[in-house]
Amino acid sequence: MISGTSQRPVRLGLLGCGTVGGGVVKLLTDNAKYLGMRVGAPLEIARVLVRDEKKERVPELDRKLVTTDPELVLGDDTIDVIVETMGGLEPAREWVERAIENKRSVVTANKALLAAHGPDLVERAHAAGIDLAFEGSVGGGIPIIRTLREAFASDWVRSLTGIVNGTCNFVLTRMNEAGATFDEAVKEAQNKGYAEADPELDVGGHDAAHKLVVLAMLAFGARTDSKSVPTEGIRAIEPIDHRLAKRFGYVIKHLAVGRDAGEQIELRVHPALIAQSTPLANVSGVLNAIALEGAALGPCMLSGRGAGDMPTAVSVVADVLDVARALRSGVPGLMTRGIQMQVRKVVPIDELRSRYFLRFNVENKPGVLARIALALGDAGVTVEQMVQEEAPSGVHVVMTTHQAVEKELRKALVAIAAQTFVVRPTQVIRVV
């Protein structure tokens, strides 16, 4: 172990050296002198585990350190900190658990792992007296985990609303502002290193749900998992929705929403119309932002680059720094000890009260509008704004509603879907 006075380097074992891991190697190399001064000992990359030894890597990486044998990292007792930037559930879970059992502090950017096993890993780290740090798991370079863990430690988070998936925000922005197709925009996000190895995790909303589970752990002390988070992605959003949203004074963003609802918590991930005048509406491209509402503090918003090699590396290396300093000072585990969780039930989405954007594609014939209005009225849904325009087949009847209960709205939409005048399924997007 590292003593309080020794100049022995803090030795790091890296699991993975792709987009994020490559950024970590680059930052550790470029800022080595400064980082060493801050820790009081050099940070040394001891070993780097990858799958394919022959793959091209960042030029800063010393190829002699690269291995495909996990034992050379996990079985090396001289390694002090394991930095996991591999992704996926297995073998990441097994290897992180093993590192914790061997009393090695762990830094990870793996939100899928944390969403599935976060509370268990935190408890294991706590029991082992070491740190499990995960700033890179949410919001790329935005210090949201620290903010919740430290700055909000004295307050109570009432709600959070975040743009937490850089790929979704990038794709929606490119479609809205540059007229890119969905596929073109996803390809671009992949080329820039924003997307997950499986981009369906991004565009399907699952990555945002993973992040929301991690945020809820800190913001609401909630022990939950992404299966209990109602999740929708952005595949169903069409260019016409962006245009019509703009016409009503909104933009479409992919949001993660959490709210402390007393005994229960509200957690959900979905695209939403947000008013053009709000700060979140102006968070574009790969930028992420998380708006928090503290009971005592009131509103607070953090924004910055939410994906990509260097922004994420900034968060990961900041964690390495904290963990290394704690080791050198002989007080590992403080970071993780502050995280307290209990099981919190998630409010069913059926019970949500929200406003809605509805786009009906229907035949252009007398009585259709009246029947739509009747079905909505029967469900207690009232219309706020409405326009009608020609569609390739029939017309688009587009409206925003006043607040309605989701279950009641869905009943009305089922009744409307059964009508013969419906040309295509109705688009439904929540308005926040």
The residues binding ligand HSE (CB under 6 A) are: 140, 165-167, 194-196, 202, 207, 306-307
Q: Which of ligand NAP, ligand HSE, none is residue 49 near (CB under 5 to 8 Å by kind)?
A: ligand NAP
Looking at the Cβ atoms of 207 and 293, the one nearer to ligand HSE is 207
- Please give the Cα distance from 93 to 355 (Å, whole number): 40
Sign of CA dihedral 12, 190, 279, 430: negative
Looking at the Cβ atoms of 199 and 221, the one nearer to ligand NAP is 199
Q: Which two tokens stand for residue 9?
A: 């380097």
| Strand partners of residue 67 | 49
Catalytic residue among 26, 111, 211, 253: 211
Are residues 383 and 397 in contact, defined by beta-carbon separation less than 8 angstroms? Answer: no
Q: Which of 134, 170, 194, 356 binds ligand NAP (CB under 6 A)?
A: 194
Is there binding between residue 110 and ligand NAP (CB under 6 A)?
yes
Give the helix/strand (H/E) hosting 289: strand 287-294
**Among the residue ranges 24-32, 86-94, 351-359, 374-382, the one whose residues contact ligand NAP (CB under 6 A):** 86-94
Are residues 339 and 218 in contact, defined by beta-carbon separation less than 8 angstroms? Answer: yes
Is there binding between residue 91 and ligand NAP (CB under 6 A)?
yes
Residue whose CB is nearest to ligand NAP in the complex, by number? 18
Residue 244's closest CA among 33, 388, 38, 60?
A: 388
Looking at the Cβ atoms of 17 and 144, the one nearer to ligand NAP is 17
Looking at the Cβ atoms of 308 and 333, the one nearer to ligand HSE is 308
- Please give the Cα distance from 92 to 19 (Å, whole number): 17
- Please give the C-alpha separations between residue 152 and each of 300, 325, 353, in angstroms, as whole numbers: 11, 22, 28
Is there binding between residue 204 and ligand NAP (CB under 6 A)?
no
Binding mask 211-230 for ligand NAP (x = CB under 6 A): --------------------
Cβ at position 292, least distance to ligand NAP in Å: 20
Is there binding between residue 50 and ligand NAP (CB under 6 A)?
yes
Q: Which of 13, 118, 136, 230 binds ligand NAP (CB under 6 A)?
A: 136
- Please give the Cα distance from 248 to 281 (Å, whole number): 14
227 is catalytic: no
Binding mask 111-130 for ligand NAP (x = CB under 6 A): x-------------------
Q: Which residues are CB-contacts of 424 (< 8 A; sequence separation ≥ 6)?
A: 361, 393
- Please give the Cα distance from 109 to 231 (Å, whole number): 21
Q: Which of ligand NAP, ligand HSE, none is residue 165 near (CB under 5 to 8 Å by kind)?
A: ligand HSE
Are residues 105 and 133 in contact, defined by beta-carbon separation less than 8 angstroms? Answer: yes
For residue 314, how far is the Cα from the chain centroid? 17
Place of tokens 């090695």: 104
Q: Which of ligand NAP, ligand HSE, none is residue 167 near (CB under 5 to 8 Å by kind)?
A: ligand HSE
| Backbone angles phi and psi of 279, in degrees to 5 | -55, -40
Binding site for ligand NAP (CB under 6 A): 16-21, 49-52, 55, 85-87, 91, 109-111, 136, 140, 193-194, 196-197, 307-308, 312
Active site residues: 211
